[in-house]
Every structure is written in structure tokens, then in C-alpha cells.
A and B are shown apart, each in its own frame.
Chain A
Amino acid sequence: MQKEAAIREPLILGHKSYHDITEDVCRPIEDKAPKMWYILFGIALVIGLYGVGCILYLLGTGVGVWGLNKTIGWAWDITNFVWWVGIGHAGTLISAVLLLFRQKWRMAINRSAEAMTIFAVFMAGLFPLIHMGRLWVGYWVMPIPNQFGSLWVNFNSPLLWDVFAISTYLSVGLVFWYIGLIPDFATIRDRAKKPVSKKMYTILAFGWSGRAKQWNRFELVSLVLAGLATPLVFSVHSIVSFDFATSVIPGWHTTIFPPYFVAGAVFSGFAMVQTLLLIMRKAMNLEAYIHTKHVEYMNIVIMVTGSIVGTAYITELFISWYSGVEYEAYAFINRATGPYWWSYAAMMTCNVVSPQLMWFRKLRRSLLFTFFISIVVNIGMWFERYVIIVTSIHRDYLPSSWSMHYPSPIDIGVYIGTIGLFFVFFLLFARFFPVLALNEVKSILKGSGQSYKESPDYYKTH
């Protein structure tokens, strides 16, 4: 049990007992789902299926159904990819990095943040697959022994590094998440009354019995995986940024990209966590576990990473002028004043200005404001990728090839569809999985629970 100053705001509010925690987390799973869940799930499913339909049409007809052209080979597809990967950064950061830093407040949010990460990476992974001209030979990016002669992948290609980075990230993230889920599944299993669900949770719980030995191993594995996952948090988006940084296109060829992308990813990931959790705590009565303090912490992360991102934007602008490279300079003049000035303006406003409002304590502790900003940030981060990808290539070296990009209905359909699918997954998760790491949260009840902190003998027992 860790000692914590009494003046620190407690992490668990109210007079929660260990049993209360179990009850609070398991109730939504055991009860009938509220009507609202069905409505939301229905909407998400319809949107998701529409997206699937768009993808099938795309695969059946050709990449030409998107609004791409000879000059702009990537637009919404890779924008969405980077956006989703970025979102998928928060979960691992929260669970791995914050675990290593012994940040107890993460316990309330890491489960759903990780779930969000995994689903976001699912969505992200979809785009590199469907953006390929010939998906059916997409497995050629795997360095597997083959009978096509001595054909091997090109290890020089950042796109190949992407394949490794994303698949590693996804598998480690998935394992980490699942390991954490095992004790909680066991709790649900033990409480389950219906035979089917009992059977299901029995399978999912991997025979967890809660013995000390198991807890010991659980902690060890968590630590090892956290150690593994931490560098991944930084590597994934660095590698994604290499797609652009290693190219020769003005606006892409930028050495600042790796840290800038990682900061941006954390920035957008936390924003997405905010969006989801602010709804979830309300809908699932988890206000006691996820409260203003958590939101404030996350807002500070958003503010810091947002400032890093803003600094990067301004550095880019400065370097484009300072470098004296004609094309580089024009690329940035064009971003700010060219035909896509509005996307640059949207990016600047959403990503640079809005997080600075978090300096005000009142604002960063306001849930409504946070919710609003979290959405603004994700809009801004989508525009950031759009600005980097589209406004750089739409006017590069030879003015004869300068072009414009207009999304087709399929572009929009696929993007909206992935948002639908994401929510389908997330709603299923909220319904059937413990959304809070209930067994872990119990470990801080005595250290940071309100009732314990308020109790007169708090200092004595500690």
C-alpha cells in the first residue's frame, strides 16, 4: 500500500468499499443493457455497415472510386490511417508509461483507454490494406519465404517498417490488455449466474483463481509488458512519420517529424479518451472513479503535448524560410495562403490555440469544456494530417502537375464507416467487458479512496 498525502485529491470518491467497486463495474455487464445502448449500437452498426459497403465497392471497382489522382496518390486514406494510429496512442501510454511512472490515477482509465487503442489500431490498419491497388497480393509485404523466385521485401521502404511497427504494436497492446483483463474476467465469472455467460467468462478468465502466486506473476508480466510497450509508444508514430520524413517532397521531408508526430499522437489519443470517458462515466455511473481530477490530469497532458505540437508547427514554418529552399518555402506559403488555407487555419486553431486554454484551472476542470475541446482537438488533428499529406503533394515541384483534391462520397463513406465500426467495437466492449480494471482499482482504495482519506485514523494506519 502506498502512502499518499491527505491533501491530495482522492482518486476514488465517495464511501466505496471493495464490494462496491465490484458491484459498480459488474452491474452493467450483468444487468440488461439500457435502451440507450441499443440505440447507440444500432446507429453505430448502421454507419459501420455502410462503411463496409463502401469498402466492398472500393475493392470491387478500384481505388479510382476515391478522389485521388496522378498528383495526389494519398489523401483521406492515409490521413485517416495516421489519425486512427494517433488516437491509438493514448491507451498504451496510459497503461505502460504511466505504470512505469507509478501514476495511480491511470487505473481508472487504462482499461477503456487500452480498448480504445486496440479498436483504433484496428481501424487504422484497415486503411493501408484497402488503399492498396491490389489487396489480394497485400501479403507480399510480409517477409515470408515464397516461390516467386527470390523475391523479398524492400527493407528500405518506410511503408514496410510501418507494417512491422503497427503489427507489433497491435499484438503487444492486445496481449497487455488481455493480461489485465484476466483477473476481472475471473471476478465476473465467479458472479455469473447464467450458464452461457458463465461458460464464456470461464473461458476468457483462463482459469484464474486469484492465488498469491498468480498475482505475483500477473504483476511481473504487467511490468515486463509495460517495459516492452513503452518504446513502442514512441516507435509506432515515429515510424509512421518516416513515411513522410524520408521522402523528397517539400512539406514531407522534415526531420522534426518523429517527435512531432508522437506528441501529436498522444495529444489526439488523450482527446479521444476524454471524449469517450466523459460519456461513459455518466452512462455507466462511474463518476466516483473517473472524476474531475482524472480529467484535469489528462487535460494537462493535452496541454503539454499540444504545446509541443504548436512549437513544431512554428519550427517548421521557421525552417522553411530559414532553409532558403525555394520549394520548401513555397510549400508552407501555400499551406497558409494557398487553396487549402482553411484546413491550415483549422489545424492551427484547433491544435495550437485551443489546448492553451487549459492553462486556466477553471477550464481544465470543467467537464463540459473538456468534452468540447476533446472533439475540437481530434478535428484539428485530422486536419493536421490532411494538411501534411494533401497540401504538400497537391503543389510540389513541377507546377504543371499541380492539382486539387476533392473527396468522393466513397472517401467520406469509408471514413465515417470506420468511426461507426469503432463505436460498434467500443459499445460491445462497454457491454461485455469490465470497463474498469476493478481488481487494480481496489489496490488504491485504501491509499487514495475518499472515505479512507477522510477517516481520522488515515495517518495512523499508514
Chain B
Amino acid sequence: MTNERKYWKGIEELQETESFQKSKAVEFPEQNNLESMLADEELNESSTGRRDFLKFLGFSVVAATVAACEAPVIKAVPYVMKPENVVPGMATWYASTYYDGSSYASVLVKTREGRPIFIKGNKDFGLSKGVVNAPIIASVLGLYDSERLQSPMKKDKQSKWSSVDNEIRKALAAAKSVALISNTIISPTLKSSIDALKSSISGTFQHIQYDPISYSAIRRANELNFGRSFIPTYDFSKAKTIVSFGADFLSTWLMPTVYSCQYGEKRNPDGKWMSKHFQFESVMSVTGSNADYRAMTKPSEEESVLRYILGRLNNSSTKPISKSLKSTADGAVKSLKETGKESLVVSGTNNTGIQQLVNEINNVLGANGTTIDIYNELNMFQSEEAKMLDFVDNMAKGQRPDVVLFYNSNPVYSLPNGADFAKELKKVKTSISLNSHADETSSLCTYMCPAHHSLESWSDYNAKTNHYALAQPMITPLHDTACSIESFMVWAGLALREGKSSTVAYHKIKETFSELSVGDFDLAVHNSCIELPPSTIEDSLAFNSVEIKKTPKYDKGLELITYQKTGIGDGKQANNPWLQEMPDPISKVTWDNYITMNPVEMSAAGYATTFDQENGLSMATISSNGVKFTLPVYPSPGQALGTVGIALGYGRGGNGEKIGKAAYQTKEYGGYILNKKGHPKSIGENAFKMLSAVSNEFNYSNSGKITKIDGEYIIAATQIHHTVMARQSIVRETTKSIYDAAKDKESYNPTHKLQTIDENGHHVEKPVGEFDLWDEHPVENIGHRWAMTIDLNACFGCGACLIACQAENNVPVVGKDEVRRGREMHWLRLDRYYASDEEATIGTRKDKDTFSFSKAELAAANPKVVHMPMMCQHCNHAPCETVCPVAATTHSNEGLNQMTYNRCIGTRYCANNCPYKVRRFNWFNYPSYKKFTEINPAQDDLGRMVLNPDVTVRTRGVMEKCSMCVQTIQAAKLKAKKENRALTDEDTSAVCGDSCPAGAITFGDWNDINSAVRKSSEDKRSYQALEEVGVKPNVWYKVKVRNEDNDLLAKLQGDKEEHHESNHKQH
């Protein structure tokens, strides 16, 4: 049987077919001969003929063309040799120091693949304790400014360092007199290199330090009172009573990066004590908007108020002051008497007399030694405007130096007589500028020898007596620029140029450092700073009362105040589109300069007091100091009656200077608006021209005259409605006394309750959170749930978070025309609400029966102010998520409301349905549409380098919004996972919270019951904005507590408590 079994490979073999027999004979299948195949006539006649060929060809071409119609691919260039410390995709942080002549901060710089892309505060080391402000964060964009000078220039022509250096050295050697005009130099190494230059030349050498914003009066007053010219260290964290006369110390006055943190520390109602803050000022400032008591004070009234307070404190006779000021001044006196030496009085007026009065008051209080440290002085702000003004006068008289050098100084722009100076400057034989741009001054110079951007160069700073800091380069110089230390050394003949990889400055700084003999250089670089041995100043500075110097006098009538805005400051960064588009914390206006006036006066004088995208503001001509400007008049509640304000830092570069693409006015469809001279028109007017010099000190207020003229000016503001309409669940406020006295939170932070019927059929009240139409998202108690709390009491509205968010998340800049249309793209905004006369405090109706909506729309003449950061609330029942037809916005299992740009088709339904209006739509293709060429850095090859590679640049037609910095959350999660541990609070941060000077924003994992955010959210001050809508946000706000007496509010909130209690008794 076994032998009979037959195996076959196929049915053919089994049946032994003919074809099988044939193929069996041939072992290998027949090879087709290619030649014969091609020669086969039959094939030629097959159906694929010429016509078909053409059809296929045509189709392929069309298909290829269609397939090519895609967005152009911009290729990334990979490393050929990978630098040691660079891991693609991983950020590296370097410690450094920021100093631009007026702002100072210890910073950390984030670099990605060698590019610095983000600046934040250094929380571990340095003077500023991790505080940075908007201009510092935004300064990273300046590195990639394509209009920065890219090589040395002679006149208008590009040149080479070798030839420029030779000519300059020759000029210096031949010069009989040389002058160097710089801002305050606090770099010991730079100073020594200047000294080296000074000793290398045979002629006279004059170094004038001149800052556009001068604090010389403080120094002079101290010289008179203490016998030594200095600016002391102020400590706002020790001051139980703060009285400020126009000093905007949270935003621009001296060292806001230091003061804002100190101030914020003591504004916590749950702390040991809370400071009481009185502000006397003309223009509503960021600081004034946070004061517990604010009095609208004219510059001319400042002296009398100071004298009144001094007199009351001395118990001596006082001259009467106006009623409105008296009540606040009396309050201040009362508080100052109570707190004694734990008080601080400061004034922003640059006048020796005024500062002497301030010194007198502080002395009476005994503040020297507690809130004022006179032995640890600030080396910044050494401006000698007297010298500078003399210098200009002498030049006009013909005493011109042969060589003038400019270092970080732009006097043609910032001097009140800048135009005269420009005329004289042109007559100087050799003028050299080390400024980074061909700005107002540089463009008139013979040579432009641009310095590195601060992120490209080594530097050292001695900002305070006992503090030495270093700045290190983050990137190889982008252009053919040179470190200024090197330039001075080269011109002194002590060094040679070494090109981009020059180590001249590095070695020179190392030398300075070793002379200090304070420790390891590398460690100092790592930390960015090092403490110096205690000061060597003689140990007793006694206060001497001397005769008060002349104080400024004003004509009767209008008084004009020039002030600095938080973003633009003195105009150094007027070309920075982020800062131009940053809404002013008070006015919310972007991209513009305007006259501020109290709306009460404006409506009386017939000015427009409301505006929107199509209806502009009235125009007025203002004249002062012999200068005349025409500007729009902005209704600014809180502006002292009889005064107007104009911001400094505008009106730059109207003569064709190249100060930066974004520094000019643009047209509706792109391109610049040209001025009469045919140059791009500058934004606003240069208010520096209106400064007066009182006894050789710049006075930032002056008498003036204003005339309303015909015409309307469209202004771009991000907020056109200014009150909260007494709505209670947006902003919540109380006073310290109510807060302290309250038994539970119901009085000042009532729970929103609804009626329902319980199992027994009784009517009961339940918190609104317990009512739910939907199933809960499974985020509670599972994994993470990202949440945030924002303390309205701590937030003072500076806008650092907004700029940090813009930098981190590649938020496009859209320009004035788009902002005016209400299309700014900021993911995080700061809502600023004024109190109306209908409200007891913001959000509480004075009288329910007489309440009028139309009156509630108008801000009070001197309103209380609240700043409210608003971003996506990451609702757990997000109304945006349910309405998206394509599920482009969804809820993550970590509680985040996610936006999937790729999936978005752009119906904008989500934005409409958002109760907080935080969603932003890409109306145009911002990275390419012609309208944004001048202003959006993403349209510039160089500017594009600032983009964060972790965050997608959004295309036209998609929605975007705050993601709670999901990229940083992911990075933190990965890091913790790699280290095989649970996430902690330290791992995660949202950049807004990280950049907040006041620590108002707490971010973290709400499911972690020990996390800071969990505890903060359960605080008695915590509430959710618009809780009753039922969207269940993951963001909590905390009630603002004012340290003021408000009897009406106490009564209203007390009533609420009683009502609440009686309700309890009923049940």
C-alpha cells in the first residue's frame, strides 16, 4: 500500500496534461527576449498608442502639478557636527543679566538648538528674585531685528572693522578734545576700558553719562541731606504704609523688577500684615491703579501736599490744601503715624526740592534704616543732565569736541533740544556711534560701530554696591558687530580685533573678576552673579535738614505730564512689535501715543469720550515748551482735573532712520504711511521735546495749552468698555476689615446657589456646582487635572504674562488696524475694569433699586481699578467643545481643553459660544499676508528665528487659544517619567505664572491634594468667574481685598452675611 501513494504538485501533474508534459521537459521557464519583445509588431499595435500616451502624460503632469500645490516646505538643516551641549529638541537655559540703561534683572535665557528664544527671571540668584517685566521678556526679539546694523558703517556705506578702526584711531590721536556720551554705565570692565581709551589719547576726554529718564534729583537731595550723592535701596516689603507721589514703582520708577516683588509680598490679606498704599498722582499709573487710596493730584499741588503731610507729622502748622486732597492726605498721615518707621514715602518728581521734602518726611518717620537702606546704594541712574545740557550749549557756542562717541545713547531723540544738538553734531569732525541701530543719533555720525546685542556678548554689572553680576553670550554674533569693551580697547591700542569668536571682552571681564577676588568665575557665570564684600562707605550718614531748594512752578491753567508706559518706556524698544501691540495696562491702547484727559473734563469741553473701531477720538493740539503736537485725546478716568498726560518713547525715527521695521505706522493693506518728507511716519509724537529743565534738572511735567481741533482719530484699543456693569461673578472685591471680620466667606465671596427639591419634596438651596446636565468628564481623581488660580489681589496688571505668553506660544502680531477691529491674537489678556458711580466697589451695586445700566457704563471720575488676567478657563463642561462640528476642540483626560489646529475648519462657533471670549481666530495668514509684512516677526527670515519650535505656527482659518502651555506640561511629564518619579509642583509651570512678578498665578495638578494649586483653589477667597453658567472651569480667581475703609460695602456685604445666617437658621 505504502508504495502506491502518489504525490503531485498540481492537478495538471495528476492528469498529465499536454502542457504539463511540455513544460516538464524544460527545466527553466523560457526567458523573454527583451529585444524581440520590443521588436514585436503586435505590441506596437496594441491599444496603448500615441493618444493614450499623451493622455497619461497629460494626466501625470496635471496630477504632479496638483500634488505640488501644497504649502512650501521649509527644510531644517541638520547638524553635521553636533555641538556638545546641544540636544535637538531640548532647551538649554543659561543664567545671565539684563541691563539696558534703565531696566535691570537677573534672567535665565532659554536657547533651542543654539537660538535664544525666551527670557525669564532667575528665581535662584540675583537682585530681582526672578522678576522680569514685559520689556525685558520682549527684548529677545531685538536680537533678531533685521534692521540692526549688520556691520560697521562709514557714513552710509558698509565698511570693514580694520579700516574703520584705523581711521578712528587716527582721528582720536589727532583730536584735541574727545567726548563720550553714554547712558549710565554700571559695567566695571566697560568703565575700565573707557578709562584705558581716555589715558591713551593726548587730548582732553570728557565722559558724560546721560539717561533720558533722569533721577538726578534723588542723588542731589541726598547729597544735601546726607552729604553724599546716592540712590538708596528701598524695601517696599518692610513698609506698612506706602505713600507715593507719582512714582510708578511697580512699572517704571527706578527698579520695578525689585520693588514689584517686595510690594506683592505684602499685599496678601492672609499674611501677617498687609501694607496700606496711598498714591498721589496725575496720570493713572499701574502703581496708582493698585493703590488703596488714590488722590488725583496736579504736579503743582505736590509740594503743598508734601508740606502738609510733613507739617502734620511734625505737629507744626500747615497750609490748607484742597478738600479732595485733604481727606486722602489725612488718611495717609494717620496711617504714617501708626506705622512710624515702617513706612515709606517716595516721589517720582525729578526735582531736588521735592525730593528734599520726601527725605524730610522719611526722616521724621524714621524710615532710614528700615524701609530705606542708605548704605547700600544703587549704581544705576547716574544721569548728569546738567552736564549734557551744558555740553549742548557749549557746542552751540562753537566749543565742539573733535571726536564725539555715543554709547547706548540717543540724545538727538531724547534731549528736549535734540534738534539743536543734531545740528551741532553734524558739524563735529568725527562722530562715532556704538548704538545697535542707525537711529536718530547714529545716522548723523561719521562712523557706526555697532555693538553686539546683549544676548551675543559678555558683560558685567555692578548695579548695587554689594552686587556683581555677569552676562554671558547665548549665541555667536549674528552679524559683523563687536563687543563695545573690545572696541574701546582696540581704539586705545590695547587689543586687536578677533572677529566673531573674539575673546577680548571675556578675558578683560575675567581680569576684573579676579581683581575682586570673590570666588570662582565659572560659578559666578553659572549663577550670573555674586555677592561682594560689604560696602566700604563710612558707617554713619547723618540726616541734616537744609533749606529746601527751588521747586518747579507752573503757570495757571493746564499742566502736562510726560510719563513712561509699561511697554514702551523711554522708547528704546519702540521697534519691538510685541511691546507696541501690548495693550497699555491702563488705557488698553496699542500702537499709539495720545493725550490722556479725564472724561469728566472731556465731555464738558466737547471731546468724544467713547470710541470703537469706526468711531475715533477727538484731536487736539497741545503746546508746551515751545513745541506743538497734534494728538488724539484719550478719556482716562483718574487723570487729575486740569492736567493731561502724554507718554514718552513715541515719535521715533521720522527722518528715514532705520530703527526697526515695526516702529512706523502701517497702512490698512500693508506698507508704511509716509510723512511729508516721504519717510515712513513714526508712531505718535516725541514728548521728550516737552521736557523742561528746572535748575538743570529735567522736569517731566510742564505747563501747557490744549486746543480741540476738528478731526477724528481712530485708535486701536483691546477694550472699549471699561466697567464691569456691577456684575458680581466676574470680579469680586472686599476690604481688609470686612475680610478679617467675616465669619465665613459668604459675605465677600458668596456661593452661587440654586433652588431644587430634595427627596422629601422640600425646597432646598444647593451650590450651582452640584447641578449638572452632563456626565462629568472623568478627570477628577484620575491622573492629572491641570488647574490654575489667579489672585486678583496680587496681580497688579503689568502685562509681563501677556508678553511671556506671546513669546512662548508664537502668538502673531497683527498691527494697529487689526487690533482696532478687535482681532488681537493674545491668548492671555488683562481685563481692566474701572468702578462706576453706581457701584460700592467694582462688581457690587450701590443700590439695587436705583441702579441704572446706562450710568454703570461710565467709569467714576477717580475710579477704583482691578486688573483681571483672562485666558482659556479650560472648562470641564466646555461650551466650545460641544458645538464644534468636527471635534477639533476636545477635552483631554487631564482636564485641558485642547485645540487641534489641524482638524479645525474655522466655523468660529466655539468662539461665539465661549462665555469668556478667549478664543482667537486666524483671520488672515499672518505669516505671509502682505498686511503684516512690516510688523509680524514671523514674516522676516531673521525674526522667524525667535519662534518656539515646540509650538505650531497656526495657519489661516483656524481657531487658537491658551493651551495652558501644554508643551511644558508634556516636557515635565517626560522628565518625571524618565526619572521614574511622580510629578511635583516644581516640574510644571505655565509661562504666565512663571513670569508673574507678583506670584499671582499658581499652576499645577489639581488632583494632587498637596499641590499648591489645589490648596489655593480651596481657599476661602477662591471663586470661579461666571460660575453660575455651569461650565466648571479649571481656573479659579481669588477675591481682591483692598486695605481701605468702605462703609457702604461693609454694610452691603454684612447684609449678605446676615441673610446667609438667617437662611441657615430656617433649615
Q: Is this pair of chains taken from one and the same complex?
A: yes
Q: Which of A's residues lie within 8 Å of B, judged by CB? A: 61-64, 67-74, 128, 131-134, 137-138, 140-141, 148, 151-154, 156-160, 163, 243, 246-249, 326-327, 330, 333, 337, 393, 395-404, 406
Distance, CA A327 to CA B833, complexed state (A) = 18
User: Pick the contact of A158 from B725, B822, B883, B915 — CB < 8 Å?
Assistant: B883
Within 8 A of A (CB), among B784-830: 818, 821-824, 829
- Which A residues are in CB contact (< 8 Å) with B833? 399-400
Distance, CA A243 to CA B612, complexed state (A) = 28
- Which B residues are in CB contact (< 8 Å) with A69? 613, 821-823
Contact of B887 with A151 in the complex, beta carbons under 8 Å: yes
User: Pick the contact of A133 from B916, B919, B922 — CB < 8 Å?
Assistant: B922
Q: Which residue of A lies closest to B900 (CB)?
A: A151
Contact of A401 with B913 in the complex, beta carbons under 8 Å: no
Contact of B916 with A398 in the complex, beta carbons under 8 Å: yes
Indicate the member of A128, A133, A403 with the most B CB atoms within 10 Å: A133
Distance, CA A148 to CA B909, complexed state (A) = 23
Contact of A402 with B720 in the complex, beta carbons under 8 Å: yes
- Which B residues are in CB contact (< 8 Å) with A395? 721
Q: Tell me, yes or no, whether B912 is within 8 Å of chain A by CB.
A: yes
Contact of B924 with A141 in the complex, beta carbons under 8 Å: no
- Which A residues are in CB contact (< 8 Å) with B557? none
Number of A-B contacts (CB under 8 A): 180
Q: Tell me, yes or no, whether B724 is within 8 Å of chain A by CB.
A: yes
Contact of A249 with B913 in the complex, beta carbons under 8 Å: yes
- Which B residues are in CB contact (< 8 Å) with A396? 915, 917
Q: Give min CB distance, B581 to chain A, whole Å.
A: 14
> How many of chain B's residues have a CB under 8 angstroms from any CB in A?
63
Q: Give min CB distance, A85 to chain B, whole Å.
A: 16
Q: Which residue of B lies closest to A70 (CB)?
A: B822
User: Pick the contact of A68 from B722, B728, B908, B957 — CB < 8 Å?
Assistant: B908
Question: Binary interface profile of B, 705-732, with partner A (CB < 8 Å = 1, else 0)?
Answer: 0000000000000011111110110100
Contact of A246 with B917 in the complex, beta carbons under 8 Å: no
Contact of A134 with B956 in the complex, beta carbons under 8 Å: yes
Contact of A62 with B720 in the complex, beta carbons under 8 Å: no
What are 19 A-B pairs with beta-carbon distances under 8 A?
A68-B923, A69-B613, A73-B909, A132-B906, A133-B922, A134-B957, A137-B905, A138-B905, A140-B905, A152-B887, A157-B884, A249-B915, A327-B727, A330-B853, A398-B870, A400-B832, A400-B833, A402-B721, A403-B612
Q: Give min CB distance, A134 to chain B, whole Å.
A: 4
Q: Tell me, yes or no, whether B108 is within 8 Å of chain A by CB.
A: no
- Which A residues are in CB contact (< 8 Å) with B958? 133-134
Q: Tell me, yes or no, whether B1029 is within 8 Å of chain A by CB.
A: yes
Apart from A159-B884, A398-B870: 15 A-B pairs, beta carbons within 8 A: A62-B923, A67-B821, A71-B822, A133-B906, A137-B905, A151-B903, A152-B887, A156-B883, A158-B883, A248-B913, A326-B728, A330-B725, A397-B1026, A401-B917, A404-B613
Q: Which residue of A lies closest to B822 (CB)?
A: A69
Within 8 A of A (CB), among B561-584: none
Q: Give min CB distance, B752 to chain A, whole Å.
A: 11
Q: Which residue of A lies closest to B728 (CB)?
A: A326
Contact of A74 with B908 in the complex, beta carbons under 8 Å: yes
Contact of B956 with A133 in the complex, beta carbons under 8 Å: yes
Indicate the member of A64, A70, A153, A327 with the most B CB atoms within 10 Å: A70
Contact of A154 with B886 in the complex, beta carbons under 8 Å: yes
Q: Tell me, yes or no, whether B386 is within 8 Å of chain A by CB.
A: no
Indicate the member of A134, A395, A397, A400 with the most B CB atoms within 10 Å: A400
Contact of A154 with B885 in the complex, beta carbons under 8 Å: yes
Distance, CA A402 to CA B831, complexed state (A) = 11
Contact of A397 with B730 in the complex, beta carbons under 8 Å: yes
- Which A residues are in CB contact (< 8 Å) with B831? 398, 400-401
Q: Tell me, yes or no, whether B907 is within 8 Å of chain A by CB.
A: yes
- Which B residues are in CB contact (< 8 Å) with A151? 886-887, 903
Q: Give min CB distance, A71 to chain B, whole Å.
A: 5
Contact of A163 with B822 in the complex, beta carbons under 8 Å: no
- Which B residues are in CB contact (< 8 Å) with A397? 727, 730, 915-917, 1026, 1029
Indicate the member of B613, B822, B909 with the most A CB atoms within 10 Å: B822
Q: Tell me, yes or no, whether B539 is within 8 Å of chain A by CB.
A: no
Contact of A73 with B912 in the complex, beta carbons under 8 Å: yes
Contact of A404 with B870 in the complex, beta carbons under 8 Å: no
User: Pick the contact of A326 from B727, B823, B915 — CB < 8 Å?
Assistant: B727
Contact of B903 with A64 in the complex, beta carbons under 8 Å: no
Q: Which of B's residues lie within 8 Å of A, judged by CB? A: 612-614, 719-725, 727-728, 730, 818, 821-824, 829, 831-833, 853-854, 868, 870, 879, 882-887, 903-909, 911-913, 915-917, 919-925, 929, 955-959, 1025-1026, 1029, 1031
Contact of A140 with B907 in the complex, beta carbons under 8 Å: no
A399-B833, A406-B614 given; A159·B957 CB < 8 A: no
- Which B residues are in CB contact (< 8 Å) with A74? 908-909, 912
By Cβ-Cβ distance, the 8 closest A-B pairs, closest first, are A133-B906, A133-B957, A64-B923, A69-B822, A73-B908, A400-B831, A401-B917, A134-B957
- Which A residues are in CB contact (< 8 Å) with B925? 62
Contact of B920 with A159 in the complex, beta carbons under 8 Å: no
- Which B residues are in CB contact (< 8 Å) with A61? 924, 929
Q: Give min CB distance, B730 to chain A, whole Å.
A: 6
A71-B822, A159-B909 given; A133·B921 CB < 8 A: yes
Contact of B921 with A63 in the complex, beta carbons under 8 Å: yes
Contact of A249 with B612 in the complex, beta carbons under 8 Å: no
A70-B823, A133-B906, A398-B831 given; A157·B883 CB < 8 A: yes
A398-B831, A402-B720, A403-B822 given; A132·B907 CB < 8 A: yes
Distance, CA A160 to CA B885, complexed state (A) = 5
Q: Give min CB distance, B731 to chain A, whole Å.
A: 10
Q: Which residue of A lies closest to B724 (CB)?
A: A399
- Which A residues are in CB contact (< 8 Å) with B719? 400-401
Indicate the member of B831, B923, B956 with the most A CB atoms within 10 Å: B923
Q: Which residue of A lies closest to B906 (CB)?
A: A133
- Which A residues are in CB contact (< 8 Å) with B725? 330, 399
Distance, CA A157 to CA B908, complexed state (A) = 13
- Which A residues are in CB contact (< 8 Å) with B909? 73-74, 157, 159, 243
Distance, CA A395 to CA B822, complexed state (A) = 13
Q: Which residue of A lies closest to B824 (CB)?
A: A70
Q: Which residue of B lies closest to A63 (CB)?
A: B923
A74-B912, A134-B904, A249-B912 given; A140·B614 CB < 8 A: no
Q: Which residue of B lies closest to A77 (CB)?
A: B908
Distance, CA A47 to CA B909, complexed state (A) = 30
Contact of A153 with B885 in the complex, beta carbons under 8 Å: yes
Distance, CA A326 to CA B752, complexed state (A) = 13
Distance, CA A166 to CA B614, complexed state (A) = 36
Distance, CA A70 to CA B853, complexed state (A) = 24
Distance, CA A401 to CA B719, complexed state (A) = 6
- Which B residues are in CB contact (< 8 Å) with A249? 912-913, 915
Q: Which residue of B lies closest to A326 (CB)?
A: B727
Q: Give min CB distance, B828 to chain A, whole Å.
A: 13
- Which A residues are in CB contact (< 8 Å) with B818? 64
Q: Give min CB distance, A428 to chain B, whole Å.
A: 32
Contact of A248 with B879 in the complex, beta carbons under 8 Å: yes
Indicate the member of B904, B906, B1029 with the most A CB atoms within 10 Å: B906
A62-B957, A402-B720 given; A141·B905 CB < 8 A: yes
Distance, CA A403 to CA B917, complexed state (A) = 11
Contact of B913 with A157 in the complex, beta carbons under 8 Å: no
Distance, CA A318 to CA B912, complexed state (A) = 25
User: Pick the contact of B882 from A64, A148, A157 — CB < 8 Å?
Assistant: A157
Q: Which residue of B lies closest to A163 (CB)?
A: B885
Contact of B879 with A399 in the complex, beta carbons under 8 Å: no
- Which A residues are in CB contact (< 8 Å) with B829? 400
Distance, CA A157 to CA B885, complexed state (A) = 5
Q: Give min CB distance, A255 to chain B, whole Å.
A: 13
- Which A residues are in CB contact (< 8 Å) with B907? 128, 131-133, 159
- Which A residues are in CB contact (< 8 Å) with B870? 398, 400
- Which A residues are in CB contact (< 8 Å) with B853? 330, 333, 337
- Which B residues are in CB contact (< 8 Å) with A333? 853
Distance, CA A403 to CA B611, complexed state (A) = 10
